[in-house]
Chain A
Amino acid sequence: MNSKRNTLLTTISFVLAIVFLYWLSANRLQHGMLVSVLQKGVIFALVAVSMNLLNGFTGLFSLGQAGFMSIGAYTTAILIIPVKSLDGVYYMNGVHPFIRAMKMLIADSPAFIQSVFPFIALLLGGLLAAGIAAIVGVAVLRLKSDYLAIATLGLSEIVRAIFSSPNFDQITNGSYGLNKIPNFPEMAWGLIPSLLTPFIVVGVCIAFILLLINSSYGRAFKAIREDEIAAEAMGINLFKHKSMSFVVSSFFSAIAGGLLAMYMRSIEAKTFSIPLTYDILLIVVIGGIGSVSGSIISAFLVTAAKEWWLRFFDQPLFFGDWQVPLFRTGFRMVIFSILLMVVVLVYRKGLMGSNEFSWDRLLGRFKRTGKSEGGRA
């Protein structure tokens, strides 16, 4: 009976979310901040979940997420910048003839291919990152814990340095970065407006990660996290499974990177430097290492708090003639950091620990608080 109720609740909230997004899409001009926070939040949710797959479920402490995101972002951006904007984007160094030829080819292709091409670009970015992860993994995955973190962090910096190096400026436009990247495409011939696209792409990706985590391979990942030696003694090939997790995680990080490129409309290598990885790590830790729903919830909360809810700390505040001290640009980050410390102190294991969201738990919490209040009265 409970499971029936839970399915019903899930369906209702799902439908409500979609209706809300359609409504938002119709009124996006009045709610610009909400739209951008939600879109950025959902993109970070995907990176956080893919980082969690690696850090929380396989126990590999990797800090290479930003690097793989940048691979996805650059691949997607280079592929989808329209031909007519090429000269404007590559105004300093000119564009590589191969890229131009490829773009002409795409521009001449049938309308259907053009409409799905952004998704193909995302996929290609993901596959490229996955391929690089598979190759790099051979060397890097032999390392453990902190050493792996250092190696992957270095990897991510190498990728960034390559993207901004002048040697590739006809492809990546060097330190000028890429702009004029088209926004999210519409889906299903305009039935699904472009605002919904990132939510759908991320939804599909996270659904896959969830399926993987709950499959036999996901259990093997968890076994490696719990005890490598025991896992190996139980017949689990450590390298093969670590590599799998690394490749899948990199693939989805790159997809998120591609979405981020579409969201930001312009990217440069600096966007994907170390602080980005720490932002994602922060989301994972706040949400709970080893909890997919925790990562998703915390991605939205952290993004909203950072970009939106704390905004007013940046504006000067007056009580009559008295100006409240400290309220100026940048102060919100101080408040944000203090809030983070409080959250980490109260929720030692993150908001969700290693548990997943469940209706029973949520309703149980309401019931409990309801009861205790009743008792007091």
Chain B
Amino acid sequence: MNNILLKTEHITMQFGGVVAVDDLNIEIPEGRITALIGPNGAGKTTAFNVITGGYQPTNGKVTFDGQVIGENYPRSKMKKIYNGTYRTLNEHQVINTPDKITRLGMARTFQNIRLFKDLTVFENVLIAKHCHIKAGMLRSAFRLNKAEELMMNQEADKLLHTIDLHMHRDEKASSLPYGKQRKLEIARALATGPKLLLLDEPAAGMNPKETEELALFIQEIKESFSLTIFLIEHHMDLVMNISDKIYVLDYGKTIAQGSANEVQNDPAVIMAYLGVEEE
């Protein structure tokens, strides 16, 4: 059995009085593709943000690669208004900023593409390599880390070759067509050297053909970079084709989990997506 790379336990995220994610328990086995689906506003992106450190959860624990990267319990004001299902037992707190979590080996993309628009394709990838730099500012400014700099450049070039974007190397990121911007965003995430790649709606705004290509691309990079992938998606074809396990979220609650077939036939899922049939 594969070991679990990422595990969330009782993740609850409450904004004011609204519980956006309630008692989310996810296990992501190494080397697999896991998906999180759900209707609009189900709390998928919030869950993503909690995992990557963008939000501090109201309650619960996130473990990545055997290390607790985020843990919290309802405190002070939140203690009174806390509305989540899960009551906490141990009062621990672990806070990590997103940049630290990225350096631990978890990289993400964004639902609405967030490239460094005014910089070139190459620079976009090169910047992602900066997170593992060893030289300090002065050493780097005086070019005393030539070997390191050269390695960063070579790796960035190699990565662009691997994912077939090298012909656009010196173009501005914003000048790329939409599909390639998506690809570049994934490349940039890969440049940080992740074990786990989180994709937030990678097929958003793509036509069926592009979606099909993306599915192939995701499987390709999963093999060539030996990745574990966790994705949020709306396109059911994409999710059903490539994911090994699917979690379904609705109104912040996990309503189903299992393989594509199991989830597709689950009455709760059908109800969440299609609404209740009237008499």
Contacts and interface: CB of A to CB of B under 8 A. Distances in A.
B97 interface: yes
Interface stretch (A105-113, A195-203, A236-244, A338-346): A236-244
Contacts of A217: 130, 133, 137, 140-141
Q: Determine chain B's interface SS by DSSP, over half rule.
A: helix
Nearest to B114: A230
Interface stretch (A90-98, A219-227, A301-309, A362-370): A219-227
Interface in B85-108: 97-100, 102-103, 107-108
B103 A226 contact: no
A200 to B, nearest CB: 19
B97 A235 contact: no
Interface stretch (B28-36, B64-72, B115-123, B268-276): B115-123
A235 B102 contact: yes
Contacts of A244: 137
A212 B129 CA distance: 17
Interface residues of B, number: 38
B140 A234 contact: no
Contacts of A354: 118
Nearest to A234: B128
Nearest to B105: A235
A248 B141 CA distance: 12
Contact of A212 (B52, B128, B137): B137
A235 B143 contact: no
Contacts of B152: 216
B97 A232 contact: yes
A233 B52 contact: yes
A328 B152 CA distance: 61
Interface residues of A, number: 26
A354 B172 CA distance: 13
A232 B116 CA distance: 12
Contacts of A216: 126, 129-130, 133, 135, 140, 149, 152
B127 A219 contact: yes
Contacts of A248: 137
A223 B117 CA distance: 9
Contact of B99 (A212, A227, A235): A235
Given A222-B119, A234-B102, A236-B131, 13 more contacts: A208-B141, A215-B140, A216-B149, A220-B127, A227-B117, A229-B114, A232-B99, A233-B54, A234-B107, A234-B189, A235-B99, A236-B99, A238-B99
Interface of B: 52, 54, 97-100, 102-103, 107-108, 110, 114-119, 123, 126-133, 135, 137, 140-143, 149, 152, 188-189, 191-192
